[in-house]
Amino acid sequence: MSLKHGLLGLLNYKSLTGYELDKTFRSSLSFFWQAKTSQIYRELDAMEEKGWLNSQRIMQTEKPNKRVYTITHSGKEELANWFSLPDSDIADAMRVKSAFLMRIFFAGETTTQQALALLRSYREKCMESKNALSLAHVSASSYAETITPETITAEKRVTFWKLSILYGESYYASGIAWADQAIALLEEENE
Amino acid sequence: MSLKHGLLGLLNYKSLTGYELDKTFRSSLSFFWQAKTSQIYRELDAMEEKGWLNSQRIMQTEKPNKRVYTITHSGKEELANWFSLPDSDIADAMRVKSAFLMRIFFAGETTTQQALALLRSYREKCMESKNALSLAHVSASSYAETITPETITAEKRVTFWKLSILYGESYYASGIAWADQAIALLEEENE
DNA sequence: TTAATCATGTAACACGTTACATGATTGC
DNA sequence: GCAATCATGTAACGTGTTACATGATTAA
């Protein structure tokens, strides 16, 4: 259900077209939720049928016609309802689903060299991801202003925006620390 | 594709029925990959059609009849092929998908008290999950023997099994550390 | 001149979840 | 007597991915 609620959350800031929602998703929420363009359009249709949104077609001559989505009263209720029931999302956050860890589990079937290569490659990608996030952190303050309206104090928005980036940095850092431990252990055994 | 490869990995140890695979999945791989019983049966059918498995029906009088799955040569090739191409799984491991973080992102729309409650609840669940894993760590050595054959040295299996548990402990610990930071920050601002 | 931006979707497929169905045996 | 274990699935739905289609304008 969370794609729906992410879209509701953005439309609660201001009315947007599917195209704009797609771009906004990619440039802000995509760190912790990903969605393809085609999926977003499908979900918008479903949400309109549920009565959470209204849409209005805008004809344009220079550019393709567009369709602006606006959250309804019922949509705001749904959003408030979602906020009030966080338990299942917290439970989901406890679940790890990782094909990479499945490889680690079965790594006893391969050579120690293969396992080491896997871990080193993982560590490297964690470093890259962490560095990319640190850059995002720096530009967060100015960036946040482009996606939320003026009515909410900018500081409050930025606080939570930064907290989500901080989560990512912490996440990748723990991946690096774990990989270091694992690599050290295997190298030791290999001697 | 990883459910298929998880099942192949287990069947590479020894032939099992769908029911046994389901139980084995739940008691070992479920920390980093979850699958429903009905999905496992569906995947086994698909894998047999691909020629990765053979199945043999065993009639029983005291208990329901069963169907034992055995990995084929082609299945072993597929497994080896999967081992040799880890890049996409590593890339996937870099992606965070979390409705909980989406809530954090939108938490500026609620009160600081609500946000604090969310973070405290998250922290608590991380603690519980971490403690549950620590217990698993203790019993890992004896447990691992029940799911892998004698041909592979037990120590090697246990090493990687423990590494995956270690990952989990590290993951939850980083969640706790992040939540502590976040809670401290919000409490400070609230004063 | 070629790529990016604007702007919308459809169709098919893959993977995951929920609900339902059956029915004997064994342990508390 | 009731729950758990053994053992198999089907059907429908929900969510996510891939491939395809269209076509004008604008900046490098």
Q: Which nucleotides of D are covered by protein (CB under 7 A)?
A: 6-12, 14-20, 23, 25-26
| pLDDT more than 90, % of chain B | 79
Cβ of residue A38 lies below 7 Å from strand C: yes
CB A55 within 8 A of CB A48: yes
Q: How far apart (Å, rounded) are the C-alpha atoms in residues B60 and B38?
A: 22
Cβ contacts of A108 on chain B, cutoff 8 Å: 148, 152, 156-157, 159-161
| pLDDT more than 70, % of chain B | 92
Q: What is the pTM of this model?
A: 0.93
Cross-chain residue pair A159–B121, CB shorter than 8 Å? no
DSSP reduced 3-state for B150: coil
CB A55 within 8 A of CB A68: yes
Cβ of residue A171 lies below 7 Å from strand C: no
Pairs of CB atoms within 8 A across A/B: 212
For residue A151, report the phi and psi dihedrals to the nearest 5 degrees.
-65, -30
Token pair for A21:
């929602």
DSSP 8-state symbol, B53: E
Residue B29 contacts A, CB cutoff 8 Å: yes
**Predicted local confidence at residue A61, as pLDDT:** 77
Our separate counts of H helices and E strands in chain A read 8, 3
Cα A2 to Cα A188, B31, B101, B104, B122, distances in angstroms: 44, 23, 11, 13, 17
A92 pLDDT above the threshold of 80: yes
DSSP reduced 3-state for B57: strand
Res. B147 pLDDT band, cuts 50 70 90: low
For residue B71, report the phi and psi dihedrals to the nearest 5 degrees.
-70, 140
Token pair for B131:
């403690």
Residue B109 contacts A, CB cutoff 8 Å: yes
Q: How far apart (Å, rounded) are the C-alpha atoms in residues B62 and B65?
A: 9
Residues in chain A: 191
Q: What mean pLDDT do residues A133-141 have?
A: 74
pLDDT in tens, B102-128: 999 999 999 999 999 999 999 999 999
Cβ of residue A67 lies below 7 Å from strand C: yes
Q: How far apart (Å, rounded) are the C-alpha atoms in residues B138 and B162?
A: 9
Largest CA distance in chain B: 72
Residue A55 contacts B, CB cutoff 8 Å: no
Q: How far apart (Å, rounded) are the C-alpha atoms in residues B118 and A96?
A: 20
| Direct distance between the N- and C-terminal alpha carbons of chain B, in angstroms, rounded to an integer | 50
Of A120, A156, A160, A151, the residue nearest A31 (C-alpha): A160
pLDDT in tens, B35-45: 999 999 999 99
Residue A99 contacts B, CB cutoff 8 Å: yes
Cα B87 to Cα A172, B47, B190, distances in angstroms: 17, 23, 45
Q: How far apart (Å, rounded) are the C-alpha atoms in residues A157 and A133?
A: 18
Cross-chain residue pair B167–A159, CB shorter than 8 Å? no
pLDDT in tens, A145-162: 555 555 556 778 889 999
Q: What is the DSSP string of B93-137?
A: HH----HHHHHHHHGGGS-HHHHHHHHHHHHHHHHHHHHHHHHHH
Q: Which nucleotide is nearest to A38 (CA to C1')?
A: C9
Cβ of residue B3 lies below 7 Å from strand C: yes
pLDDT in tens, B77-99: 999 999 999 999 999 999 999 99
Q: What mean pLDDT do residues A68-83 have?
A: 97
Q: B58 forms bridges with which residues in the sheet?
A: B66
Q: How far is the CA of A117 from the C1' of C21 (A)?
A: 48
State the amino acid at position A179 in one-letter form: A
